[in-house]
Homo-oligomer: A and B are copies of this chain.
Amino acid sequence: MEKINTTSKTQPPIYIQISQDLRNLIIKGHFQQGDQIPTEDELVMKYGVSRMTARNAVTELVNEGLVFRVHGKGAFVARAKLQRSLNKITGFHQDMLEMGLNPKARVLDFEKRLPTEKECHRLNLRKYNKVFSIKRIRYIDEIPFGYQELIVPEFQAPKLDSLNLETESLYSYLKDIDKPIKNAEQRMEAVMDAHIAEVLGTPVEIPFFFFDRTSYLVDGTPVELLHSYFRGDKFSYTVSLSN
């Protein structure tokens, strides 16, 4: 755990920073399911914070289901899975940053090409409208967490090929050029996929969430097809439903 900067105005509150440190240690496997995480006393000592701050840090992790408290004993890892919301249209990069993690991407393939018949249909394209097709592995630090294939019409995002897609986000770029994504339709499957496991270098017995997303601009134009595979042993997804 690193020394926490209490002065910078861009830093989140200290209890959030402590919860980020702890989350990081859980996600990287330093603490595993069933392990006890540092007690509030230990956090008070380590970070030089009040007991209330230490308690709030742990409560953050309790609220997202990462740890549970046992009365009089402390807090233990419930499941070492990151929790993402399905109610928000956000990218992997932004979500991970907000959790205090260190997201990375490696571009496996970037091409500009003619669309397939299916892509024409789903993106409302003419046969001669070229698309960018980008394949990326998503990491947290050095650990592969997922694989994504992105299809975007060239005329919607003409400068996409000058973006550094290992560090920059399509969604931010679209916002910058006044084409923010308004809504999306997403389908999820639970799958085994030996090919994706090989690409990621993960054990074949890990199931993946497969997401098939179509994203739309304010005027209803489809602007993105996104096929994602995220590790079932690393993620869970929440959704709020109302009648």
Question: What residues make up the interface of A, taking CB atoms closer than 8 Å to B?
Answer: 65, 81, 83, 86-89, 180-192, 205, 207-209, 232, 236-243
Contact = CB atoms under 8 A, between A and B. Distances in A.
Given A185-B238, A186-B238, A207-B207, A191 B243 contact: no
Given A189-B232, A189-B236, A232-B207, A86 B241 contact: yes
Contacts of A243: 89, 180-183
A88 B205 CA distance: 31
A237 B188 contact: yes
Contacts of A188: 86, 188, 236-239
B239 A239 contact: yes
Nearest to A86: B239
Contacts of A191: 190, 207, 232
A120 to B, nearest CB: 12
A240 B207 CA distance: 23
